[in-house]
């Protein structure tokens, strides 16, 4: 990637400060200082603190893991296992930002975008994948794909956010836990575990 633009520097500084100090602590003056520019430049680029925060949070939340589910499922366990691993590691990396967002969403609802938020994008990708599993006859159970997708995403979210808070609940190895989540999920969808030659 090329050199970071002033806009990129401001967005990164805003997300970092917001995760550390929340909305009040992430003042435009502190953000501008961290980005190495003056406050006037910040306002010239974004117009307002809320506009900057909205974009910074949305950008910090995006990652490529949602594109990993294939158009045509071939090996559901492996495909979902790879996707859940990428998804949960993204959640873990952004844990402090997510926790701050959750703590402040009621006070500052205007800086969060629900439609294209990372959880919404992930849920949509998973929903489409689950629908394809059903269409090609791999998923044989009766289920609502939205509810099924929400359940798996919820389990990953709870693990990523709760493993350090509730160690008694998450005694198992994080990788083993992912295998279990995917196995239980696929079993619930009525997907039989086919052994491929490579496993």
- B/e letters for 131-147, b = 16+ CB within 10 Å, e = fewer, are ebbbeeebbeeebebee
Which of 5-9, 28-32, 111-115 has the least mean pLDDT? Answer: 111-115
DSSP H helical ranges for 36-173: 39-46, 49-61, 76-93, 95-104, 118-135, 145-162
- pLDDT level of residue 198 (50, 70, 90 thresholds): very low
How confident is residue 64, by pLDDT bands cut at 50, 70 and 90?
low
pLDDT digits (tens, 9 = 90+) for 157-168: 999 999 988 988
Does the pLDDT value for residue 149 go beyond 60? Answer: yes
CA-to-CA distance for 83 and 29, rounded, in angstroms?
39
Mean pLDDT, the chain, rounded, equals 88
pLDDT, position 197: 43
Residue 65 has pLDDT above 60, yes or no: no
- Residues 123 and 196: their CA atoms lie apart, in Å, by 27
Q: Give the pLDDT confidence of 124-140 residue by residue, as tens digits.
A: 899 999 999 999 999 99
26-45: per-residue pLDDT in tens? 999 999 999 999 999 999 99
> pLDDT above 90 covers what percent of the chain?
62
């Amino acid at each position: 990637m090329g050199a970071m633009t002033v806009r990129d520097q401001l967005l990164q500084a805003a997300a970092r400060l917001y995760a550390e100090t929340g909305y009040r602590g992430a003042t435009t003056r502190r953000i501008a200082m961290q980005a190495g520019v003056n406050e006037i430049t910040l306002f010239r680029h974004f117009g307002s603190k809320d506009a900057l925060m909205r974009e910074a949070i949305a950008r910090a939340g995006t990652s490529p893991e949602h594109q990993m589910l294939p158009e045509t499922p071939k090996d559901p366990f492996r495909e979902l296992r790879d996707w859940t691993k990428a998804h949960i590691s993204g959640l873990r990396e952004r844990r402090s930002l997510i926790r701050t967002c959750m703590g402040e969403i009621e006070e500052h609802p205007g800086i969060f975008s629900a439609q294209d938020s990372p959880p919404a994008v992930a849920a949509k990708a998973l929903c489409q994948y689950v629908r394809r599993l059903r269409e090609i006859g791999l998923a044989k159970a009766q289920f609502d794909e939205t509810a099924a997708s929400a359940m798996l995403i919820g389990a990953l979210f709870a693990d990523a956010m709760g493993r350090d808070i509730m160690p008694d609940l998450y005694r198992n190895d994080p990788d083993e836990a992912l295998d279990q989540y995917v196995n239980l999920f696929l079993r619930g969808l009525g997907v039989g575990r086919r052994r491929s030659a490579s496993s």
